[in-house]
Amino acid sequence: MAKEKINKISENVYEIGKEGKMIVPVRIYASEELLKDMEKDQCLQQGMNVAMLPGIQKYSIVLPDAHQGYGFSIGGVAAFDLENGIISPGGIGFDINCSIRLLRTNLTKKDIQGKEKDISKELYKAIPSGVGKGTKVKITKEELKEIMKEGAKWAVDKGYGNKEDYEFSEESGCMKEADPSCVSDTAISRGINQLGSIGAGNHFLELQYVEKIFDKETAEIFGLEKDGIVIMIHCGSRGFGHQIASDYMKLMEDEYGFANLPDRQLICAPINSKLGKEYYKAMCAAANFAFCNKQVLTHLTREALKKFFPDFKAEVVYDICHNIGKFEEHNINGKKKMVLVHRKGATRSYGPGKKELPKKYQITGQPIIIPGSMGTASYVLVGTKKAEELSFASTAHGAGRMMSRNEAMRRFKSEKVREDMEKNNIAVTAGSWKSLVEEASQVYKNVDDVVKVSDELGIGNIVARMRPMAVIKG
């Protein structure tokens, strides 16, 4: 895409003006360096394509961690009018509710030092991870349907944790509009053996210590202390959500075609159509599976660490969605209006006072959890009123890839990746050398730069920085 189309509006804010069939401009939130990375793939063109979709409001938004995805860029946000707007599976993602949960614990950095390798191996043994891996939690088809409706609460009712876990989750760990009748038997057959597993790709479980507190008052409310141990769990709806996305893309293409779309991958349906409503209900079912999955993983993590620390405790700081569609009220041209917000590789960033948040966080704004690449820092931020004004209450979800998995495989060796991590006192256990190489730190943007942009713009302010000590991957 021609660089001359990109206009600098202010520091960290760029825009591509309306042209051709674009209904709204593209708004880009990035530093100069991050913008250069974006120009290397098609994510900005994807932002322009999204700007052509019916009913889009204000802007097609590209966040600091953006890179090329399926249809929408990963790190893309768009909101659509409920009357004439659309819902697009490509704008939500194949891994519906790919998301992250942060636990604070009663351990400190000193408690873990010297035990990193043993802990990493024990967690890997306790938690199924990797492509096609099944699970130790066996459920029936009827139980899966219950999970689709109840989300994390189902797991708690079965003894996998406590209600405070899901109370500190986005949507309280359950999207109420879920309808199992909108989910295919094929999706059910893929999901039935995957509850309580991480999967592969960029999914992980990581023990970290809090290296630095930037906002002491907010950190105290979040329960974060310097050198305290936290646990980050990153996973989603696995093959279950992937199948739901695939099913509805096929149905939408059959029903509506793609002749009027700038990209076939943007296949969509009107929000108010029968198919649009059914996809949303199925998406909610997949989101609930993901919430339940992380609840089970939380329980398995607690049990594994009690083998090292009998009095071990872990409480949920927050559980947030990355790939999701939400009906939310936003200010559009000076008026409050309900819209359907697509967040694809993006984190909600609600500021103080929002009734959707747990009471504890209505004072501060919601916790935002931004993982780095494997072996680098991760961050906790806090949501802001400014984000509600600038980005439909959204900010980045991670570091963002800048190198394909194939290129990573050509350039790096697993032994070197593992060696680099061990030099930094990070113990890693992975299902394959391939997963280590594909997720090496070098394939990602600098997470420090990503969160710096978010903080400087005020769409998510930095609270704390964490460093990894033990990692498990598929």
Tell me the DSSP string of 285-330.
HHHHHHHHHHHHHHHHHHHHHHTT-TT--EEEEEEEESEEEEEEEE
Map residue 473 onto helix, strand or coil: strand
DSSP state at residue 181: G
The residue among 148, 147, 145, 193 whose CA lies nearest residue 156 is 147
Give me the helix-helix angle, 141-150 and 274-306, nearest 10°: 100
Q: Can you read off the two tokens belonging to residue 94?
A: 């194949």
Q: How far apart are CA 318 and CA 106, in angstroms?
A: 16
DSSP state at residue 399: S
C-alpha dihedral (378, 381, 387, 390), degrees to nearest 10: -40
Please list, in sequence order, all residues whose beta carbon lies within 8 angstroms of the beta carbon of residue 435, skipping any fewer than 6 positions away: 130, 200, 201, 473, 474
User: Which of 203, 234, 322, 397 is the catalytic position?
Assistant: 397
Residue for token pair 């713009």 = 457
DSSP state at residue 83: T
Beta bridge partners, 56, equal: 80
Q: How far apart are CA 230 and CA 102, in angstroms?
A: 7
Tell me the DSSP string of 426-458.
-EEEES-HHHHHHT-GGGB--HHHHHHHHHHHT
Is 397 an active-site residue?
yes
For 133-272, list the strands marked E by DSSP.
Answer: 204-213, 228-235, 269-270
The residue among 447, 440, 442 whose CA lies nearest residue 418 is 440
Q: Can you read off the two tokens belonging to residue 325?
A: 């569609």
Residue for token pair 């747990």 = 358
SS3 per residue for 326-362? EEEEEEECCEEEEEEEEEECEEECCCCCCCCCCHHHC
Q: How far apart are CA 249 and CA 87, in angstroms?
A: 11
Enumerate the active-site residues: 397
